[in-house]
Amino acid sequence: MILTVTLNTALDITYRVRSLRPHASHRVSEVTERPGGKGVNVARVLAALGHEVTVTGFTGGATGRVVQEKLTAVPGVMDALVPLSGATRRTVAVVDERTGDTTQLNEPGPTVTPAEWSAFQEAYEDLLPDASAVALCGSLPPGVPVGAYAGLIRTARSFGLPVLLDTSGEPLRRGVAARPDIIKPNADELAELTGSHEPLRATEDARRRGAGAVVATLGPEGLLAATREGRWRATPPTSLRGNPTGAGDAVVAGLLSGLVEHLPWPARLTRAIALSAATVMAPVAGEFDRGVYEELLGRVTVAGEVSAA
């Protein structure tokens, strides 16, 4: 079982309009709702790849109940969300059908009390004996300590579990010091962490700070990976336009599934790129187009060098 942690879960709502124009009223042609938040999106992709996944984090209020109801309909995903008194947030993606561009609106998360945070930590530790790997994903809701991910990494590693961390800012900085096996920053997050805007130098710097491997997402330029085994750059065969919501989470799913399947790094990166592109092409946030994914698997370019160490 793979465990994904989403402390700031969400209900992802996707609106489709013919053309998005500022200061105008719009007729919505289609509305779709999905349980969301980064770790939930990761779990959905992992389950579609055939892995058993457990989702934990927080949920609350009427929106939280909708998230849990919809989560039960996802095959291969088990709900282990922890209740809290506040209301789960919503995110809204507005898709312009004319251009294919997406506008994203993200609500803040609910405030977590000290008692609720303690309850989560107990629930998290109870889940670890049955896990094969852990993904810690997304922002921290108000009330959760800024060093929360660092503590969760240390707990998982005490059980001998590999950990992938996907967050930003100070939670990422503190989390890296706890020595996660993989981090997945984007270019801006990597520059903020290291102070370097040169991706190759920044990935190596992030490794020196404690990360076992660093996989940086560089938008249309693909992925740059710095690992113990070597360094690789993976690029998609073409630039795709669509809804980017969940594309980074698909990268996490590709990397994590490759890790538990003991795939070599080039195969992990190929899968991650293909999944990310297939997510951009899907009509709904957090889903991926399986046909696009399977077609792209044979067209991703991975180039690099293997370490002699």
Whole-angstrom distance, CA of residue 234 vs CA of residue 284:
25
CB 165 within 8 A of CB 153: yes
Q: Are strands 53-59 and 82-83 parallel, antiparallel or unpaired?
A: parallel
Only one residue has tokens 């990268």, namely 251
Alpha-carbon Rg of the chain, whole angstroms? 19
Whole-angstrom distance, CA of residue 98 vs CA of residue 192:
35
CB 187 within 8 A of CB 169: no
Q: What angle is formed at CA 46 by the lines to CA 307 and CA 305, rounded to 5 degrees?
A: 15
DSSP 198-216: SHHHHHHHHHHTT-SEEEE
Whole-angstrom distance, CA of residue 84 vs CA of residue 59:
6
- Which one is catalytic: 181, 205, 249, 289? 249
What separation in angstroms does the CA of 174 have from each of 118, 181, 220, 292, 294?
19, 14, 29, 37, 37
Q: Is 289 a catalytic residue?
A: no
Other CB atoms within 10 Å distance of the CB of residue 188: 10
Q: Which tokens belong to 274?
A: 């293909």
CA max distance for the chain: 60
Q: Sign of the C-alpha dihedral, residues 109, 115, 119, 121? A: positive
**Which residues are identified as catalytic?**
249
